[in-house]
Amino acid sequence: MEVKDRSSREPCISLIPGSAEFLYRTPFQNVRKVLPMSSRPTPGINLLIRSPSAAQNSSPPRLCIDLEAIVANESISFTGVAIRSGSDIQYAPIAASGTNFWLNKDTATYTPSNVPVNTNATTSTVFGFYLPSDTLALDVTVPGGQQVYVSADGALKYTVAHSANTGEGSAVNGFGIAQGHLLFENNDFIAVATNETSNIPDGKGTAYQIYAASRTNLTGQGFAFRAIEFEGETAWQYS
């Protein structure tokens, strides 16, 4: 298999269509290895899909590796979109609102009046993944941060600012990134239709709440959570 870095500036490798293998780096070994795509890398492997530029739109997506964040105690930031071909949630952004995560709904952020405006410059939901941990957080400025967790009923949720309470029976461990997708307990996620309607600009249809597939029996649309590297100002906090 031939895998080449096609960029002189970005530490990306190309996934050859039809290939049964890809290259990756672990946070503990600064070496390239070949791994069958059917395998599930352990949590902590840093594989992201970089957003293509306009000049790259006709090219196959590339698996991209942030080589600066492969050592322990480093972090990466990313947003997410749902992958469910042929559905109304295809490419829908993952949005934080009201301590839950949604598709077809706006992100909700908050900035106190006494902090600079640019700390709330994003309208996206930005996650922070910390190596080599298997925990996940929102990438925020507020002291203490905001933890992402799965509640006892399987809902993907986040803590309110200034509180670490995740509720009885919740799980904060088990997150990982593999082949460019966020997983929980080596499984994908489920979008469950709610009675709420979409409130995104020009949005139509239903707002979906996100659940971990491994922790719920609810009926919904299974989808892959594609991680897209984020660079820019993050929110002060999510509300």
Say if residues 170 and 152 touch (Cβ distance below 8 Å): yes
User: Could you tell me which residues come within 8 angstroms of residue 176 by beta carbon, excluding any fewer than 6 positions away?
Assistant: 41, 42, 43, 44, 45, 134, 182, 183, 186
Rounded Cα–Cα distance for residues 83 and 214 (Å): 18
pLDDT of residue 74: 66
pLDDT of 119 over the 90 cut: no
pLDDT of residue 130: 76
pLDDT of residue 223: 98
Question: Is 69 strand, coil or helix?
Answer: helix
Range of the domain at 178: 72-238
Do the domain assignments include residue 39? no
Do the domain assignments include residue 181? yes
Strands 95-97 and 33-36: unpaired
Rounded Cα–Cα distance for residues 64 and 58 (Å): 17
Say if residues 220 and 88 touch (Cβ distance below 8 Å): no
Rounded Cα–Cα distance for residues 102 and 94 (Å): 6
Do the domain assignments include residue 57? no
pLDDT digits (tens, 9 = 90+) for 120-139: 567 899 999 876 789 999 99
Do the domain assignments include residue 28? no
Do the domain assignments include residue 27? no
Do the domain assignments include residue 52? no
Say if residues 60 and 15 touch (Cβ distance below 8 Å): yes
- Model's pTM, two decimal places? 0.71
pLDDT of residue 120: 59
- Which of 37, 24, 63 minimizes the C-alpha distance to 227? 63
Domain containing residue 139: CATH number = 2.80.10
pLDDT of residue 21: 34
Percent of the chain at pLDDT > 70 equals 64
Distances (CA, A) of 87 to 67, 82, 112, 169, 201: 34, 10, 38, 32, 19
The identity of residue 1, as a single letter, is M
Q: Residue 59 is encoded by which pair of tokens? A: 């090219």
pLDDT digits (tens, 9 = 90+) for 44-92: 333 444 443 333 343 333 344 343 344 445 678 999 999 999 999 999 9
Do the domain assignments include residue 94? yes
pLDDT digits (tens, 9 = 90+) for 12-25: 333 333 333 333 33
Do the domain assignments include residue 33? no
User: Which H helix or E strand runs over 192?
Assistant: strand 189-197
Counted domains in the chain: 1
Say if residues 1 and 34 touch (Cβ distance below 8 Å): yes
